[in-house]
Amino acid sequence: MRKVCIFTGTRAEYGLLKPLMYEIKKEKSLKLQILATGMHLSPEFGLTYKVIEEDGFKIDEKVEILVSADTPTGISKSMGLGMIGFSEAYQRLQPDMIVILGDRFEAFVAAAAAMIARIPVAHIQGGEASYGLIDEAIRHAITKMSYWHFATTVQSHKRVIQLGEDPKRVFHVGAPGIDNVKNLKLLSREHLERDLKFRFNKRNLLVTFHPVTLEHKTAKMQFQNLLDVLDELNETQIIFTKSNADTEGRVINDMIDRYVSQQRRKAVAFTSLGQLRYLSTMRLVDAVVGNSSSGIIEAPAFKIGTINIGDRQAGRVRAKSTIDCQPTKESIRAAVQKLYSKEFQKQLRSVVNPYGEGQTAQKIVKVLREAKSVDIKKSFYDISFEPNRK
């Protein structure tokens, strides 16, 4: 059996990988291994490794990298611990391949350790763009350390090849998150209200806001502008999900806690909703507000709006359901007005999601199952063009 090791370090990442993990588990020719790390093992972020186990999976390795600081120095130290811990875990597991999704710093270290160990990497969501983030450079670096590439859009598929990867190893499969939208039996409004201890109102917004990691100390100002606009909205309930372990993430989380304590009738916050509750909530709200990739990728599948604030997701392919705005009160306020306009609400009915219609996990497993012997000595795939000689 070919041993396939799934790497996961965050709640959101695991939610996207879960359909793939189930498909690997069902496949007789593949053996699933799971390496959990990062926020999964942190009490501050909800000890979400327990969710993985509750879903019926066995975690083969837990690697502690101490994500207890959100400073650049703290994150760099976590990366150093990850390089040591992941390399030791790979030595024990002896996987035939590592599956890595996305572009976080934990994923970068996991790919680097696999490269040194001569273990081929299958990378999901390479070739995308998010110009406001450190993740942009990390994502492309992981692409160059990976062997198989599973792209979510036509544009990202082309970009991976443009980075010099052989088209024979690059596959356009759509976004994994759409599998959950299509396959999960989502909770009813009544069930969700009981579960969250929260009542939906005439208008409802799901707010997920993260720091823009290539900007210096902008999180507090930008998020305060959003809170001030939310404060102006009548008959609107706000569901917050908290920030990841990024630089300045704690600034945002502290502000959420203070806001909710002052606005208990209209706002509630969760460290982690989990994939089922998050998507069930998304289905019932008017829009996803903030700068999360879920607003760009999954929200269009529900034909709801997205108010995308600032540059965190700059460069990503968008559906017409996305309203981009600057992180100022005036711009956010205008975006909210557009969201509830008759013209925009009518436009939502015909939205087409550029991230596909699902079955992504099945497409990936087919490639991994049928993959021949791997020669990790890759050659650069050259694209013919005339360079600018000026």
pLDDT on residue 351: 92
Beta strands at 61-63 and 287-290: parallel, antiparallel or unpaired: unpaired
Give the number of C-alpha atoms closer than 13 A to the C-alpha of residue 92, restricted to the C-beta side.
Answer: 12
pLDDT on residue 214: 67
What sign does the CA torsion over 346, 350, 354, 355 have? positive
Pick from 29, 149, 26: which is nearest to 96 by CA? 29
Contact 317, 155 (CB under 8 A): yes
Q: How far apart are CA 147 and CA 377, in angstroms?
A: 10
pLDDT digits (tens, 9 = 90+) for 16-56: 999 999 999 999 999 999 999 988 998 877 888 999 999 99
Q: How far apart are CA 86 and CA 322, in angstroms?
A: 38
Beta strands at 97-101 and 61-63: parallel, antiparallel or unpaired: unpaired
pLDDT on residue 265: 85
Question: What is the fold of 185-348?
Answer: Rossmann fold (3.40.50)
What are the Cα distances from residue 19, in Å, to 27, 95, 216, 382? 13, 20, 36, 34
Q: How far apart are CA 295 and CA 289, in angstroms?
A: 7
Q: How far apart are CA 107 and CA 388, in angstroms?
A: 35
Q: How far apart are CA 116 and CA 49, in angstroms?
A: 27
pLDDT digits (tens, 9 = 90+) for 180-228: 888 889 999 999 999 988 899 999 999 999 877 667 778 889 999 999 9
What CATH number is given for 2-173+359-370 in this structure?
3.40.50.2000
Look up the pTM and report it.
0.81
pLDDT on residue 174: 92
Apex 92 CA angle, 90 and 96, nearest 5: 50
Pick from 298, 280, 52: which is nearest to 175 by CA? 298
Contact 227, 255 (CB under 8 A): yes
User: What stretches of 298-371 show up as alpha helix (H) in DSSP?
Assistant: 329-339, 342-348, 360-370
H/E element holding 15? helix 11-26
Domains of the chain, by residue range, sit at 2-173+359-370, 185-348
Q: How far apart are CA 236 and CA 258, in angstroms?
A: 18
Same topology for domains 2-173+359-370 and 185-348, yes or no?
Answer: yes
User: What is the DSSP-derived secondary structure letter of residue 218?
Assistant: -
What are the Cα distances from residue 331, in Å, to 154, 206, 222? 31, 18, 11
Q: What is the pLDDT along the chain (390 residues), one digit of tens a residue?
A: 899 999 999 888 898 999 999 999 999 999 999 999 988 998 877 888 999 999 999 999 999 997 666 778 888 999 999 999 999 999 999 999 999 998 899 999 999 999 999 999 999 999 988 887 788 899 999 999 999 999 999 999 999 999 999 999 999 999 998 998 888 899 999 999 999 888 999 999 999 998 776 677 788 899 999 999 999 998 899 999 988 766 777 888 999 999 999 988 899 999 888 888 999 999 999 999 999 889 999 999 999 999 999 988 888 889 999 999 999 999 999 999 999 999 999 999 999 999 988 899 999 999 999 888 788 889 999 988 777 776
